[in-house]
Amino acid sequence: MRSVLSLAASALALTLVAAPALAQDAATIERAETVRDAAMERNIALDYVTQLTTRFGPRPAGSKSEQNAAAWAADYMRAQGFRNVRIEEFPLVGWERGEESASIVGARPQRLVVAALGHSPGTNGVIEAPVARFDSLEDLNAAPAGSLAGKIAYIDAGQMVRMQNGSGYGPLSRIRAAGPAAAAAKGAVAFIMRSAGSDEHRMPHTGTTRYVEGRVPVPAFALSAPDADQVSRLIGMDETVTLRLSSTAHTYETVSQNVIGEIVGRSRPEEVIVLGSHMDSWDLGTGAIDDGAGGAITLAAAKAIAESGRRPARTIRVVLYGSEEVAQPTDTGNGGGAYLRGVGAALEKHVIAGESDFGADRVYALGLPPGAQTSDFARAAAQVLYPIGVLPSPDPELHGGVDIGPLAGAGVPVFGLNQDGSRYFDLHHTADDTLDKIDPAQLNQNVAAWAGLVWLIADSDVDFRAMRPAEAAAH
């Protein structure tokens, strides 16, 4: 029987024999802290996102720009020492905005600032029709059948509620998804809505609406908040508001792609931790916070770990997914679905997956997989993350996000480093999503959090599948 050793000495012994470390070992924690601090000090995130957004600008899913950016990112990964860098191509129905305009017509004409919703059809010429306004999707759904024939249905459900965790988005994105079909069902010729956003700028927020077999039933547009105010005020003044809408939006056949690269594990290379984010952006801005930043953060965290002087036991794979923005809830035609299909039997060796897709503001909470929250690993992670302002989230992380959703659905545990979304929906899906909106200090904190946490997982044998409660595992 072995004598009892101190924890530090035990950890040292484990290191010396190169046996799998425990994430909660003092030595592993100490190395995670070192990686964390080095990443906070110096990392490639700002360089990557600066080059990506400046050289390529907007990167709509399936566009030439997204394709060019993917080729460049693969080269960037190689130059940074990533291995097994590859581009995984998949077919996509792309959507192009073309030209669009909207104005109030009549005796006192005014232009409005609008943006077609993703996958909206064009207007095939011009639509000119009076506006029927509703306060909610429920009110629109309650309108009598045929009552909107020849009209433009307008939902103004008010400004998004500003929340740190972004949960104000749900009610408004639901309107964006379901609004066009609801309008068409009542006979409307087009659908317009107040943008799903928390700002008060002339910045409409685009985003994909629900399509069935690639088809949205009527042209659909988001108005900027001041334009939504204006239309609602005019209607409140008992003016009949007639709009002229035009859009040359259309879909086209194309390809998109995932860009994949690895820091290959030292001793258990077949065990894979998948980090990443999406490469595509909406067409109005340059996709800095949505989501050049996420790729920058995860790439920079993996690179910081690689540079720590000790390659971790497990493989860290960074995936820059294609075409996240156009994904539908039940769709696997985007980058996340393509990645899952390419994984095959290696799926069971996927230790965990994480996605950074909520801007570049600081991480404030860590969500772990069900079962892991009261584990020794959770205590070790808390020790590494607390000094940089990250607390444990009380909610288990179940789905991760759009890109790793297919992995999560296939049984891979997921984690989340939750970012402060207080100002995210001021910028999200607008022309204002540009590099200057990234705060370099907060970007660094993100990289440090990812690097410290991922180190704990990568240079250990922590097994999140084994921690899973019976119900969750059976799911």
Q: Check residue 437 for interaction with its own copies (CB under 8 A).
A: yes
Q: CA 229, CA 194: separation in Å to the nearest integer?
A: 8
Q: Which is nearer to its own copies, 248 or 328 (CB)?
A: 248
Q: How far is the CB of 113 from its own copies (least distance, A)?
A: 6
Sites for its own copies among residues 230-269 (CB under 8 A) = 230, 233-234, 237, 239
In one-letter notation, the amino acid at residue 395 is D
Q: Tell me whether residue 10 or residue 51 sits nearer to its own copies (CB atom).
A: 51
Rounded Cα distance, 342 and 216, in Å: 30
Nearer to its own copies, 99 or 213 (CB): 99
Smallest gap, in angstroms, from Cβ of residue 123 to its own copies? 17
- Identify which of residues 192 and 216 has a Cβ nearer to its own copies in the complex: 192
Looking at 20-28, 110-118, 308-316, 445-453, which segment touches its own copies (CB under 8 A)? 110-118
- Residue 79 or residue 470: which is nearer to its own copies going by CB? 79
Number of residues that bind its own copies (CB under 8 A): 37
Shortest Cβ 66–its own copies spacing (Å): 12
**Binds its own copies (CB under 8 A): choice among 229, 331, 395, 439:** 229
Closest approach of Cβ 435 to its own copies, in Å?
A: 7
DSSP state letters, 217-262: SS-EEEEPHHHHHHHHHHHHTTPPPEEEEEE--EEEEEEEEEEEEE
For its own copies, the binding residue among 83, 162, 174, 202 (CB under 8 A) is 202
Q: Does 192 bind its own copies (CB under 8 A)?
A: no
Helix (H, G, I), strand (E, B) or coil at 311: coil
The CA distance from 212 to 61, in Å, is 18
Q: Is 54 in the site for its own copies (CB under 8 A)?
A: yes
Q: Does the protein bind its own copies through residue 114 (CB under 8 A)?
A: no
Of 28, 286, 298, 334, which lies in the binding site for its own copies, with binding defined by CB under 8 A?
A: 286
Q: 433-454 burial, b for 16+ CB within 10 Å, e for fewer? A: bbbebbeeebbbbbbbbbbbbb
Which own/partner pairs from 330-334 qualify as long-range (CB within 8 Å, at least 24 positions apart)?
Answer: 332/406, 333/90, 333/91, 333/92, 334/61, 334/92, 334/256, 334/402, 334/403
Q: Any alpha helices (H) in 119-189, and if so which ranges?
A: 137-141, 169-185
Answer yes or no: are the C-beta atoms of 241 and 235 closer than 8 Å: yes
| Region binding its own copies by CB under 8 A among candidate stretches 85-93, 225-233, 293-301, 438-446 | 225-233
CA distance 105 to 242: 6
- Residue 203 binding its own copies, by CB under 8 A: yes
In angstroms, the CA 131 to CA 297 distance is: 44
Smaller CB separation from its own copies, 177 or 284: 284
* CA-based torsion, 185, 188, 191, 193: positive or negative: negative
The answer to whether residue 432 forms part of the interface with its own copies (CB under 8 A) is yes
Q: Applying CB under 8 A, does 57 fall inside the site for its own copies?
A: yes
47 binds its own copies (CB under 8 A): no
The reply to whether 449 sits near its own copies by the rule CB under 8 A is no
Token pair of 187 as six digits: 């006979």
The residue range among 13-21, 26-34, 55-63, 133-141 that interacts with its own copies, by the rule CB under 8 A, is 55-63
Integer CA distances (angstroms), 127 to 67, 97, 117, 133, 240, in order = 34, 17, 16, 17, 16
201 binds its own copies (CB under 8 A): yes
What phi, psi does 40 have (nearest 5°)? Answer: -60, -35
Query: Is residue 56 part of the contact set for its own copies (CB under 8 A)?
Result: yes
CB of 136 to its own copies, least distance (A): 21
Determine the 3-state secondary structure of 178 from DSSP: helix
Does residue number 200 form part of the binding site for its own copies (CB under 8 A)?
Answer: yes
Tell me phi and psi for residue 139, to 5 degrees.
Answer: -65, -40
- Is residue 21 within 8 A of residue 28, CB to CB? The reply is yes
Among 434, 444, 445, 446, binds its own copies (CB under 8 A): 434
Question: What is the binding site for its own copies (CB under 8 A)?
Answer: 50-51, 54-58, 65, 68, 104, 107-111, 113, 200-203, 225-226, 229-230, 233-234, 237, 239, 285-286, 430-432, 434-437
